[in-house]
Structure 1
């Protein structure tokens, strides 16, 4: 579960959004207010807020988002319990509050609005409220056996790790089996194996590397593996040709039907590789002679 929080100014507009019936809104928790519509609720908030006119952002807005899977199984009552536990963790039990569940999207989530001004006229300290909301939501998730932010993050890390490994294996297969002799051949063979390779062109219009799109993920070559950075990929392809990767005017290559300049880093490393291969060829020719 993820918790987000901030202080806001327009309480009525926010409550109207929370109460939006088009989003399948239902009230899951209410405390210290009795109004039956957004205007009446906001008026009750304002009566208390008038005790502290110095505080402009006098309402606290929170979004509580269980994971998609958790959200499917949470009833209105359980969402209410989740909200009450969050309020308790944030030390907001003695303030006016109202919370709505929205089910208009696949991702069920709760909008919670709390009066920042207490009945004693004091404003709730909103320092680091975003971080506080995250930690409170994590504690509530553990209490209720819901998936925590850290667990979600770990799942994502594991997924990305697997995707990186799969892209790298496809790359190695293409380099070993098909031995592409230029970038276009490499891009075509990767595409046939399910990986979309996207040239990364900088503001100067020069090729600085490639991105790899696979199973909904889009990663830089260097994020997949260091051997797949723009320069190292170019060097690897260059080794598949007798004279090295063909450079146009020393600092450009043919890419996707047009001549594209290389970034200084790639151009320098590829030039060095071409020189190395030329020297090796010359030495081999002399020995053979």
Structure 2
């Protein structure tokens, strides 16, 4: 579960968004207020807030987001329990508050609004409220057996590693099985295997590398593997013995029928790669030795 929190000044507008019938909003928690709509509850908040006119951002706004799978299992009663536990963790149990669940999208989430001013006119300390909200949500998720942020991050990390390994295998298989002599041919061969190879163009309109898009994820070539960074990738495609001279003359490469200029770093990396290939080829054939 993810928890986000901040202090706001626009209480009425935010509460109207939370209490939005078009989003199939349902009240899952209400404490120390009796209003039947966003405007009435906002006015009740204001009565208390008038006790501390120095505090301008006088409402606390939170969003509690269980994972998609957890959200499907949580009925309104469990969502109320989740919200109450969160309020207890944040030490906000004795303040005016109202919470709404939105189920208009696949991802169920709760919008919670709490009066920052208590019944004695004291303002709640909102220092590091974002981090504290996440920590509180983490504790609630553990208590209720819900998926925590750390578990989500670990799962995403494992998925990322698996996808990058898949892309690398497709890349290596493509180079091994295809007679590729141009960048266009490589990109076409990768696309046939559902991997989009997207050139990265810098502000100077120069090619500085490539991104690989696969199954909804996007990675820089160097993130997939060091052999797939821009210069090394182009070097692996190069078969022209005279390319070094052409690189020194005009650091560019043909792409989609146009000459695309290379960034200085990429041109340098490619030149080094080509020199190594030329030397290796000379050694293998005995030329000049």
TM-score range, shorter chain: over 0.9
Indicate whether 1:152 and 2:145 are aligned: no
Q: 1:144 Cα deviation (Å)?
A: 0.6
- Residue 204 to residue 242, structure 1, CA distance change in 2 (3 Å): closer
The equivalences for 1:70-89 within 5 A come to: 70-89=70-89
Q: Partner residue of 1:243? A: 241
Give the gaps of 5 or more residues in structure 2. Answer: none
Give the distance between the partners of 2:91 and 2:81, measured in 1 at CA: 15
Q: 1:179 Cα deviation (Å)?
A: 4.2
Q: Partner residue of 2:41? A: 41
Give yes or no for contact 2:19–2:100 (8 Å, CA) kept in 1: yes
Q: 1:136 Cα deviation (Å)?
A: 0.3
Give yes or no for contact 1:171–1:190 (8 Å, CA) kept in 2: yes
Q: 1:189 Cα deviation (Å)?
A: 1.1
Q: TM-score, with normalisation over the residues of structure 1?
A: 0.94
Q: 1:182 Cα deviation (Å)?
A: 2.1
Give the gaps of 5 or more residues in structure 1. Answer: none
Give the distance between the partners of 2:229 and 2:179, measured in 1 at CA: 17
Q: 1:80 Cα deviation (Å)?
A: 0.4
Tell me the C-alpha RMSD between the 2 structures.
Answer: 1.8
SS of the counterpart of 1:121? Answer: coil
SS of the counterpart of 1:193? Answer: coil
Indicate whether 1:191 and 2:191 are aligned: yes
Give the distance between the partners of 1:108 and 1:41, measured in 2 at CA: 23
Give yes or no for contact 1:250–1:267 (8 Å, CA) kept in 2: no
Q: Partner residue of 1:105? A: 105
Give the distance between the partners of 2:111 and 2:131, measured in 1 at CA: 17
SS of the counterpart of 2:211? Answer: strand
Give the distance between the partners of 1:188 and 1:244, measured in 2 at CA: 25
Give the distance between the partners of 2:281 and 2:128, measured in 1 at CA: 64
Give the distance between the partners of 2:11 and 2:33, measured in 1 at CA: 14
SS of the counterpart of 1:142? Answer: helix
Q: Partner residue of 1:57? A: 57
Q: Partner residue of 1:91? A: 91
